[in-house]
Amino acid sequence: MNKEIIRSEKLGEEYVKIQHPSGLTMLLCPMEGYSTSFAMFSTRYGSVDTCFRTNQQSEFMEIPAGTAHYLEHKMFESEEGDAFARYAQTGASANAFTSFDKTSYLFACSDNFKESLEILLDVVTTPYFTPETVAKEQGIIGQEIRMYEDAPDWRVLFNLLEALYVKHPVKIDIAGTMESISRITDQTLYRAYDVFYHLSNMVLTVAGNFAIEDVLEVADRVLKKGADIEIFRKTTEEPEQIVKSYVEQNLPVATPLFCIGFKSKDEGERKNFENMILDEMLIDLICGEMTPLYRSLYEDGLINNGLDGEVMASRDYICSIIEGESRNPKEVYRRLLAEIQKRKESGLDADMFERCKKATYGRYIGLYSKPDSIASVMTNTYFADMTLYELLDLVAGITKEQLEQRMRENLVEEHSALSVVSAQPMEG
């Protein structure tokens, strides 16, 4: 068993990385003075992973969109019953989620940590699918898909992704489609499980009030090493150009919703993760609450409840998204593009850059004070081939010139699109 202590001299904190004999990587961060524990068991398998093979196969296998999400739903069932009933016995609060690039199972507790951890490891390493239970789940997930089809905030985002991406499966709803889930069988789930739930493709992160010895004791008892495999994902050759610059859908909303997106060049998982931090800062500097653009949009009545920004980044895609409500989304889009062009010509404001950098650093420092956020960031940085503390070093080293270069190369009008959801067709 390999054990490595990862330490931040700057913070005076550390966590332990353990390579368990089963093949699982464990990142463990005990925190003195905390009464709660948080554990997250994650696989590098998300909705975009629809075509793959292992070193034991010569041909790529394609599975229906939505399989990763479907699999997450089914993992809580076993011959003994529902996993949530088992967690109820320990008092833990459990959940799971599927994103574009990973699936995570998690729990939080203040007592009975070992018992809850055993449930987590047992549930995720013991698949149980039958034709009958899988068929029953189709109706449940089908209802979920139909619900999201009518959800304005969900549709405005995925319509944007469909406008930005020509081929990449990130444009497909995480839950799949009614047609794709109809093709999912118990054998589909077992095929995906056997590849992506291999312990070498997973990570266990734990933070808060727990003892490392307890984690190892449970892991030694529950986890079994499988045959060595190597996973190959069939990547999509996504062109630089977008599909279209404007998309609109009519749904019952009081005020039109909009999403503006900028599709960036893929530079690999670690670099995309680093660029995500830069792009988050750029959004703050261009249209954050302290910027002239934000004030003018608000004073002119063009935005209601502010603007929200996020950057989606993973193994082979990255895009910046700005969203909000407006009675004239096209004018917001026009002004945003004009502000970006202005900043490209004049540069970013030096004082605003320093304030933004300090605020960004403070925001990430804040993540290190909560067990759930530490476990989540340890997962994300591990999958990006970084350590938890490299994230802070990255933010501390960002320069204004670096951001300006990133802005010139990636916030490009030709690679942007506007998605609108309104009650009736927009004019102009």
The catalytic site residues sit at 72
Q: How far apart are CA 35 and CA 95, in angstroms?
A: 20
Q: How far apart are CA 175 and CA 194, in angstroms?
A: 20
Torsion of CA 124, 127, 132, 134, to 10 degrees: 50
Question: Could you tell me which residues come within 8 angstroms of residue 341 by beta carbon, excluding any fewer than 6 positions away?
Answer: 413
Beta strands at 25-30 and 202-208: parallel, antiparallel or unpaired: parallel
3-state secondary structure of 13: strand
* Closest-CA residue to 33 (of 13, 6, 16): 13
Q: What are phi and psi of 143, to 5 degrees?
A: -60, -40
Do residues 96 and 84 make contact, with C-beta atoms less than 8 angstroms apart? no
Q: What is the DSSP string of 119-174?
A: HHHHHHH-----HHHHHHHHHHHHHHHHHHHT-HHHHHHHHHHHHH-SS-GGGS-T
Q: What is the DSSP string of 219-272?
A: HHHH--------EEE------SS-S-SEEEEE---SS-EEEEEEE-----HHHH
| Buried-exposed string 45-76: b where 16+ CB fall within 10 A, e elsewhere | bbbbbbebbeeeeeeeeebbbbbbbbbbbbbb
Sheet holding 13-19, edge to edge: 2-8, 13-19, 25-30, 202-208, 37-43, 103-109, 93-98
Quote the tokens at residue 292: 């002239």
Q: How far apart are CA 28 and CA 225, in angstroms?
A: 20
Q: How far apart are CA 416 and CA 399, in angstroms?
A: 25
Question: Could you tell me which residues come within 8 angstroms of residue 10 by beta carbon, excluding any fewer than 6 positions away?
Answer: 389, 392
* Residue positions counted in the chain: 428
